[in-house]
Amino acid sequence: MENSKIFSVLEQYKDNVKYEIEKKLLRIKSNHSYAEISLYGAQVVSFIPNDQSDLLWLSPLTELNQKKAIRGGIPICWPWFGKHPQNDELPQHGFARISQFALDTITNLPDGNINAQLSLVSTPASKQLFPYDFKLVVDITVGQQLKVSLTTHNTGSEPFAISEALHSYFSVNDISETHIKGLKNTTFFDQLKSKNMQDLSEAIIVTQEVDRIYQADKQALEIEQTSKPTIHITQENCHNVVVWNPWISKAQSMQDFPNNGYLNMLCIESANISPEINIAPQATHQISQTIFD
């Protein structure tokens, strides 16, 4: 999207929305919080409620240069989660997080919140990866809470199936003092052991690499910490929750991840992975995740 078009969308919001051309980054100041959104991936990379610290974690080694997926914030995994089901050579977690989105609208809401709407439409290049017509809309509302909605429109004449995730990286002070609550008695697929298991604990405490896909249409989860306010997460229309922390050796193997970064981050992802979501021609499907402290 050309910069002139972006500035024409932003013109009337000069005071509370700035755009950094080189990084393709929107800086949004609502009455209640501050957020940054990269147009590359339609990815929120920072969310700071007034008088608080960032709820999201962004790797200090990631570069906002539109060449590689951004490590941190809220990446959008779409139209597939993880490896492509048939072809390992296609990009991990789909192509939304490595695509330039258009900025459609910015709206000042009456309650002092600010909404940004970004979109991605199918092109001949996207059809090499996913041979369907679509429009993907990312709707981000910045207020006391941060709400990210992902809407898939099937704009073509053939049905298609997707998997998807709002792959949020949360910032935590100390992983050893962090409790994830809300998944008790829930079955999960352990991606490291390739088997189904059940979580019986009151709270999950991460003490090693964790990569789990929970069968959970849980509406409410909490990240409880001793030295920081509890982070609340709600999700709509998702039947999975992914919990991921790379721990030591995986952290060391990722170039854009600091060796000790695993101590201060935790991914809690709102997802539909298994089963996939089928979307009929001209139909629409929407998920969302809301975070607040």
Q: Which is nearer to ligand BG6, 101 or 244 (CB)?
A: 244
Euclidean distance between CA atoms 155 and 230, whole angstroms: 40
**b/e 220-257 (16+ beta carbons within 10 angstroms → b):** ebbbbbeebeebbbbbeebbbbbbbbbbeeebeeeeeb
Residues 6+ apart with CB under 8 A from 78: 94, 95, 96, 97, 136, 150, 152, 162, 164, 165
> Which tokens go with 124?
């001949």
- Yes or no: say if 114 and 104 are a contact pair by the CB < 8 Å rule: no
Euclidean distance between CA atoms 229 and 2, whole angstroms: 40
Based on the shown chain and the rule CB under 6 A, indicate whether residue 266 belongs to the binding site for ligand BG6.
no
Which listed residue (93, 153, 167, 239) is catalytic? Answer: 167
Euclidean distance between CA atoms 145 and 115, whole angstroms: 12
Q: Which is nearer to ligand BG6, 4 or 194 (CB)?
A: 194
Chain positions 11 to 30 lying near ligand BG6, rule: CB under 6 A, are: none
Has 89 been annotated as catalytic? no
Run of H or E including 140 = strand 134-142
Size of the site for ligand BG6 (CB under 6 A): 9
Which listed residue (20, 269, 276, 285) is catalytic? Answer: 269
| Contact string 62-101 vs ligand BG6 (x = CB under 6 A) | --------------------x---------xx--------
Based on the shown chain and the rule CB under 6 A, indicate whether residue 180 belongs to the binding site for ligand BG6.
no
Residue listed under structure tokens 């995730």: 165
| Contact string 209-228 vs ligand BG6 (x = CB under 6 A) | --x-----------------
Minimum distance from CB of 54 to ligand BG6 (Å)? 19
Based on the shown chain and the rule CB under 6 A, indicate whether residue 244 belongs to the binding site for ligand BG6.
yes
The count of residues in the chain is 293
Name the β-bridge partners of 77: 165
Minimum distance from CB of 211 to ligand BG6 (Å)? 5
Minimum distance from CB of 69 to ligand BG6 (Å)? 6
Give which of 153, 81, 149 is closest to 288, Cα–Cα: 149
Based on the shown chain and the rule CB under 6 A, indicate whether residue 252 belongs to the binding site for ligand BG6.
no
Has 269 been annotated as catalytic? yes
Minimum distance from CB of 167 to ligand BG6 (Å)? 5
Q: Kindly report the CA angle at 80 between 75 and 81, in degrees rounded to 5?
A: 60
Based on the shown chain and the rule CB under 6 A, indicate whether residue 164 belongs to the binding site for ligand BG6.
no
Minimum distance from CB of 213 to ligand BG6 (Å)? 7
Task: Pick one of 191, 237, 252, 290: the residue that binds ligand BG6 (CB under 6 A).
Answer: 191
Task: Pick one of 36, 55, 269, 288: the residue that binds ligand BG6 (CB under 6 A).
Answer: 269
Catalytic positions are: 167, 269
The binding site for ligand BG6 (CB under 6 A) comprises 82, 92-93, 167, 191, 211, 242, 244, 269
